[in-house]
Amino acid sequence: MASETKVLVFSPGDKEACRSAIRRLEQEKVIAVDCEGVHLGTKGPLTLMQIGTINGDVYLFDVMKNEKEQDKSFFKDTGLDNVLSSPNIVKVIHSCSGDSAALFHQFGIKLDNVFDTQVAHLVIAEHKGRRLPYRLKLAELCSTYSDTAKVYEAKEDVKIEWCKRENDYWAKRPLTQEMIEYASGDVTALIPDVFEKQKKYLEENGQIDKYAELVQEEIEFYIDPAMKERRKLRNGKASEAVLKDMSAKYRPSTQYSAITDEDEIKALKDINVRDIPNQPSLIQNLKHGHIRAFLSELENDLKTPETFISSRNLDQELHDIEQYGQDEIREYASKLRKQVCEVVTKDIQRKYTSNTPVESISETDIRVLRYIRLISGDELIYFHPTVIDLKWKIEEYDMDAAMEKLRADPEYNVSFVPKLKFLSFNTKVPSSVKRKAQQLLEKVEDSILANIPRKYTRDTPLDQLSDTEKAVLRDIRITSNTFHSTVSSLHWRICYDGLCIDFERFKAGKLSMNSGLEKKLYFFANNRCVPADVKKKAKEFQLYLLKARR
């Protein structure tokens, strides 16, 4: 931040001073805008807004009544909402989707006339020949488009502070000098140099229309679900085109280490692990090489846990590799996933309390809390009390959300039925969690069993059923004619398929016999209501088991 920058800080307690400052801002043609918050987004609370002017002044608007409570009427009471939604004032913002989501969902404000420097960079990069350009951090953007624009020099250190040690960093009051300099630097960096250089390029090269379409997508990314789908389709087509060209460009023996083109690396990165079998053999091999390089880099990053910050999608990526990757890297991914979990759970116990609301927990931390197991069999696994409390809080939060969606739409797919069954019946689960799990499970089962006869026939291929539907149908107990014939038929077909799979896995040494499986085999082999084919397969399994034990 330049030494001549004038920084003015305004609090909700002095609305008149805020209104006076905003009247001055209403005279500006171009302003730079940024927001800070606690995991800022749709639900993560916005706590501070910073606005910079062309002449270098910075206005910091504190949106918090105190460290725990937003002033929900701040923007309307001060007139700042009119500035943000004005079509006459250009708002220069870097990656506005998170700020836009917070303003819209928390304060009812729709941004207008935004110049998004991230979007501008992507359009410029594509015009210069890139096909899958990467998004840039603000510091990278500044060095790309300006010789003088700088962010707060300790920006990365501050990020480590709130990601690993102090979750509510941006809700703390009073604002520290560090917070003021960080926040101010994020707007002084954008104007005038970066903004003017990008705008000039877009205008001189006929890219304004394309830019305008994409900036609207960025504004509405977390407001209109269609925007996410539109971006996904566009990027998917671009990746497919790059992969197709790679198939024609490289020999079948080409190794991943030989790939240096950034667009090609990005296209390989974008392949979902589940989709690898659908790719040509060359692309499959290159993707496997990319996965190994990714895991190796992650392992190196984990050597310094004090600075390691997990990305939002890391846990899902590692999960997919565990489930669908090559055999030799599944165990590697599983080991690293556990290491990531250890680092993140230590951060969780340090930066949260048991009373932290779910809205103030990062999506990354929520994913890890969903992943960890507190119970193995009937034994509790040790975790810090804060981690345990937040784990159960997340479980209840997810169940409440699913129940609300299921009430609104009886065909809503609740994807975690096996977990609901575990939570419903394990003796170590807290009573409040158990009760909600039982209520939701009953609602899911009733809804699915009522809809099955309407959606399917007795002969419907099983791969047309959702995993949730199959889980519910598999586990119902049919001992009489209490169910619709379609439900009964699909139930026994699922049971037969499951028996065949278990039998083959057992013969291959990939499944161990346990009391639950033995009881199931006994029931299938001896109960009069069981169809002949299921009964025959169960007896075959029992006979093989008997011979194996001799």
> Could you report the per-residue pLDDT of 131-157, keeping only the tens digit for each?
999 999 999 999 999 999 899 989 999
Supply the DSSP symbol for 163. I
Structure tokens belonging to residue 270: 């974008």
In degrees and rounded to multiples of 5, residue 39 shows phi and psi of: 50, 55
pLDDT, tens only, 51-110: 999 999 999 999 999 999 999 999 999 999 999 999 999 999 999 999 999 999 999 999
Least confident of 1-5, 186-190, 470-474: 1-5
| pLDDT for 1 beyond 70 | no
Assign 297 to helix, strand or coil. helix
* Sign of the alpha-carbon dihedral angle for 123, 128, 129, 130: negative
Full set of structural domains in the chain with CATH = 7-223 (3.30.420.10), 225-286 (no CATH), 373-475 (no CATH), 493-550 (no CATH)
Give me the chain's average pLDDT, please.
Answer: 95
Contact (CB, 8 A) for 54 and 24: no
**What local confidence, expressed as pLDDT, does residue 318 receive?**
96
Q: Global pTM? A: 0.86
> Is 79 exposed, middle or buried, given 0-12, 13-18 or 19+ CB atoms closer than 10 A?
middle
CA angle 98, 400, 219 (to 5 degrees): 15
Sheet holding 7-10, edge to edge: 7-10, 58-62, 46-53, 30-37, 90-93, 114-116
**What local confidence, expressed as pLDDT, does residue 327 receive?**
85
C-alpha dist (Å) from residue 457 to 429, 482, 494: 38, 17, 14
> What value does the mean pLDDT take over residues 511-520?
89
Angle separating helix axes 485-507 and 467-475, nearest 10 degrees: 90
**What local confidence, expressed as pLDDT, does residue 480 receive?**
65
**Bridge partners for 32 per DSSP:** 52, 92
In degrees and rounded to multiples of 5, residue 268 shows phi and psi of: -65, -40
> Which H/E stretch holds residue 51?
strand 46-53
| Site of tokens 């008149």 | 16
Q: How many angstroms separate the first and last alpha carbons of the chain?
A: 79
**What local confidence, expressed as pLDDT, does residue 376 receive?**
82
| pLDDT for 166 beyond 60 | yes
> Is 131 exposed, middle or buried, given 0-12, 13-18 or 19+ CB atoms closer than 10 A?
middle
> What value does the mean pLDDT take over residues 38-54?
96
> Which H/E stretch holds residue 114?
strand 114-116
Contact (CB, 8 A) for 345 and 391: no
**What local confidence, expressed as pLDDT, does residue 492 receive?**
96
3-state helix, strand, coil in the chain (%, to 5): 60, 5, 30
In whole angstroms, give the CA distance from residue 205 to residue 536: 73
**Cβ burial 61-78 (10 Å sphere, 16+ → b, else e):** bbbbeeeeebbeebbeeb
**Pairing status of strand 114-116 against strand 30-37:** unpaired
